[in-house]
Structure 1
Amino acid sequence: MEVIKYEIKKGDTLELIAEREGISIKDLVNFHNDNCGLTNTIIGSSLPIHLKYLFLEAGISQNIEISNISFQKKARYRCEQNNVIVIDGKPSFSSQTKTQYLLSVKKENSDNIFAVTLEDYVNSIQPEEMEPAFNLIKEIELVRNNVVFTQNEKAEINSIINLSELSDKWSNFINNKSKEIPFYNEMKARAPETIEDFIANGNKEFSNEKELGAVLGKNLFYHILLKANLKNNDDFRISQQSQLFPNIKLNTDVSKTIVSNEGNATTYRLAGTLDKNSVNENEIIKLYQEMYQPIIKYSFTEFNFIYRITYTIQNETGFMINATASIKEQVKNNYETITKFELRRIEL
């Protein structure tokens, strides 16, 4: 433990210093009194007028500054996501991504401003030949970092406060960083139209907060965070693009129930049911016959989308303790994309 000697400035109070450090006034006072020594002043409920220095623990500050906004660090999470593609009952592709996020919050009237920092990102891919492409994806995730945002009553990102900073990071990536990535340069030489589309989509995403908010909302950490911070307990609907079939939109009605409420924690479950009436089954069958049946051989069976999320909230603070998600899109027994996601809170 390292003790630092903080010089008291004009206007400082115990309340202001404790808030800046992200600790209680009691802990601040106790630490100073335990470490000030015999020749220094012990303090009580206020700062003595003649006191010049306050003794603080180095590194104890729970504050973080992002985009010139001072946030209080609230929670750190480690996440693991596993994606598998199963064809005719046999896995043909798998990926595992481990991430670590720091969530910070600033109270603004009755609403919250959130800041999410991606602190770590590790992935592994099978088959290994696809690893270069996923390394490019990782670089884009690092551009979508230190995002400062608010959310609306629909559990969507409402505004991205530092959009211009993220846009500058994207421009820097395209103009500079991308030239250091072998896969990017290979694709630029081999399929320039693909890279042109990639850049155009990125320009669109990083210049429009609605577009960027929608992309972030597909990230399961953000997705669950937004749902967990929803103030009401109403059921809701999610709409998204099918992973299996181009230009097919999936509408899923999600019901929210309380699984348990014990002590200082409440566990919720989100269960989604695909609105099959909104899906053009004839179009799906046609696409299946064109895209998958020549490889799988078996005829179309039944299409479904399964959405299950469980998360536990600490009642006192409102922050997540843990969460799991299981999401599957399938043509039953023929072709499936399966996503398993786990989140756990760790010490700051």
Structure 2
Amino acid sequence: MEFTKYDIREGSTLESIAKENGVSVKELIDFHNSKVPLTQQIHSDYIPLHIKAIMLKPELQKSGQLTKQIEVDFSKIILGFKKQAQYKVEIATSLFFLGKPISENKIESIWAVDYDQTSNTVQIEVLGKKNIKIDGQIKPLLEVVEKINKTTEFLHLQLNPDKTVKDVLNVKQLLEKWENIKFDELKSLELEDDYFKVIIKAYDEEFTNLSKSLQMNILYQIFFYPQGAIKIPMHKSTLLAENKKTMSQLFPQQHIHYDLNYRSKVLEDEIQVACTASPAKNWKSDLLQGEYKKNYAQLIPDHFHFDYVLEGKYIYDSQGVLRQCKNYIKEQANDKLFYIGEYNITLLEE
């Protein structure tokens, strides 16, 4: 027998039947039309009222009914990235002083991400970057930073089992590139202005310890979320990472330690993971307080009262591929001095 008959039930549509079969609507219609007379064929995007059954390949049907769609065991899915993908990375930041925004910026870039599951490595290439909104006061500094960032336009990273950054594999090539940029594009600025000399020296130290720098970079922490320890579903807030360290946005060269918690759930054919973070329990912000007293205490009437909040949501498809994540971060010294960042990362469709 070359086909079996599927009796149309109330509420059935071409889309619902095709989805149950794991085929496209076109494939469903083409097979049906090849097995029935002209008066019973389908030539529209809906099932004509006079058609009471659709012809199906016999292996897709048992006892006159479609076999059930194979259910995905989400608890066994490994979260991560597809082999080749492009992500749009949007970052919006605001700095508030005396309760008012004094600097607002937004940048957007495209990352080509090539993940190798066998070696658990990933290559990232920045394909394009544009400034959506830039505060005029920091524009000269930003132009210098953009020259510096050319150093890391291509990264080859070794990941830990939980998908966080472990090491930079092409560090030798990056350091050579950095030396060329310093000499060809930044040397005159370094000679003219001691301020830029200090900046270049700081990046010298960062590139010398690039693996550690990326591990503490909040953007790379967000993108390379510690996925390996996530259980699906997990309805209660559960500790995912303890005492993670990142750079302070208010006090350069200082660090913040935070604890990261998560919850997860399955919604239709996608996985949603919500994360929250707060200052680590055993961490003290004394060094940040010292920076505040030295640089801001005479200008701001409020006392130092530090807090750090991170809230994020990650969406993965039924294959475990990251499709979107959005994170909000607030770092505050008190109600008069704080920083807000929004990080939005979206998988671009092919």
Q: Same fold (TM over 0.5)?
A: yes
User: What is the aligned partner in structure 1 of residue 280 from structure 2?
Assistant: 275
Structure 1 counterpart of 2:246, one-letter code: Q
1:161 aligns with 2:163: no
Superposition map of 1:79-98 within 5 A: 79-98=89-108
User: What is the aligned partner in structure 1 of residue 297 from structure 2?
Assistant: 293
The question of whether the paired residues in 1 share the 8 Å contact of 2:285 and 2:306 is answered with no
- State the secondary structure of the residue aligned to 2:303: coil
Quote the Cα distance in structure 2 between the aligned partners of 1:84 and 1:244.
Answer: 11
Quote the Cα distance in structure 1 between the aligned partners of 2:164 and 2:110.
Answer: 22
Output one character per residue of 1:9-67: Cα deviation in whole Å (capped at 9) or x when no partner.
Answer: xxxxxxxxxxxxxxxxxxxxxxxxxxxxxxxxxxxxxxxxxxxxxxxxxxxxxxxxxxx
User: What is the aligned partner in structure 2 of residue 216 from structure 1?
Assistant: 214
User: What is the aligned partner in structure 2 of residue 244 from structure 1?
Assistant: 250
Quote the Cα distance in structure 2 between the aligned partners of 1:247 and 1:304.
Answer: 18
Structure 2 counterpart of 1:78, one-letter code: K
- State the secondary structure of the residue aligned to 2:225: helix
Deviation at 1:248, TM superposition (A): 4.8
The question of whether the paired residues in 1 share the 8 Å contact of 2:90 and 2:108 is answered with yes
The question of whether the paired residues in 1 share the 8 Å contact of 2:112 and 2:125 is answered with yes
1:345/1:263 CA distance change after superposition, 3 Å: same
Quote the Cα distance in structure 1 between the aligned partners of 2:340 and 2:333.
Answer: 12
Residue of 323, 326, 333 corresponding to 1:324: 326
Output one character per residue of 1:206-262: Cα deviation in whole Å (capped at 9) or x when no partner.
Answer: 34xxx212333455543223116x32226112113433346654221111211x312
Quote the Cα distance in structure 1 between the aligned partners of 2:290 and 2:229.
Answer: 40
Deviation at 1:312, TM superposition (A): 0.9
1:171 aligns with 2:179: yes
1:218/1:87 CA distance change after superposition, 3 Å: same
Deviation at 1:321, TM superposition (A): 0.6
Structure 1 counterpart of 2:274, one-letter code: R
Deviation at 1:163, TM superposition (A): 1.6
Output one character per residue of 1:244-284: Cα deviation in whole Å (capped at 9) or x when no partner.
Answer: 346654221111211x3123321111211213542155x65
User: What is the aligned partner in structure 2 of residue 51 from structure 1?
Assistant: none
1:81/1:214 CA distance change after superposition, 3 Å: same
User: What is the aligned partner in structure 2 of residue 50 from structure 1?
Assistant: none
Residue of 125, 135, 140 corresponding to 1:132: 140
Quote the Cα distance in structure 1 between the aligned partners of 2:198 and 2:289.
Answer: 28
Deviation at 1:151, TM superposition (A): 1.0
- State the secondary structure of the residue aligned to 2:224: helix
Quote the Cα distance in structure 2 between the aligned partners of 1:287 and 1:170.
Answer: 30
Which is higher, the Rg of structure 1 or of structure 2?
A: 2
Deviation at 1:130, TM superposition (A): 1.6
1:131/1:322 CA distance change after superposition, 3 Å: same
Structure 1 counterpart of 2:340, one-letter code: I
User: What is the aligned partner in structure 2 of residue 311 from structure 1?
Assistant: 314
TM-score (norm 2): 0.66
1:248/1:199 CA distance change after superposition, 3 Å: closer
The question of whether the paired residues in 2 share the 8 Å contact of 1:156 and 1:213 is answered with no
Structure 1 counterpart of 2:325, one-letter code: A
Q: CA RMSD in A?
A: 2.6
Deviation at 1:161, TM superposition (A): 1.9
Residue of 211, 235, 239 corresponding to 2:240: 235
For structure 1, the residue ranges without an aligned partner over 5 or more in a row are 1-71, 180-184
1:147/1:265 CA distance change after superposition, 3 Å: same
1:286/1:73 CA distance change after superposition, 3 Å: closer
- State the secondary structure of the residue aligned to 1:293: coil
Deviation at 1:304, TM superposition (A): 0.5
Superposition map of 1:184-195 within 5 A: 185-191=188-194, 194-195=195-196
User: What is the aligned partner in structure 2 of residue 266 from structure 1?
Assistant: 271
1:113/1:198 CA distance change after superposition, 3 Å: same
Quote the Cα distance in structure 2 between the aligned partners of 1:160 and 1:301.
Answer: 37
Quote the Cα distance in structure 1 between the aligned partners of 2:183 and 2:304.
Answer: 47
The question of whether the paired residues in 2 share the 8 Å contact of 1:77 and 1:346 is answered with yes
1:122/1:214 CA distance change after superposition, 3 Å: farther
The percent of aligned pairs where both chains have the same amino acid is 18
Output one character per residue of 1:68-102: Cα deviation in whole Å (capped at 9) or x when no partner.
Answer: xxxx8521111211110112221011111111111
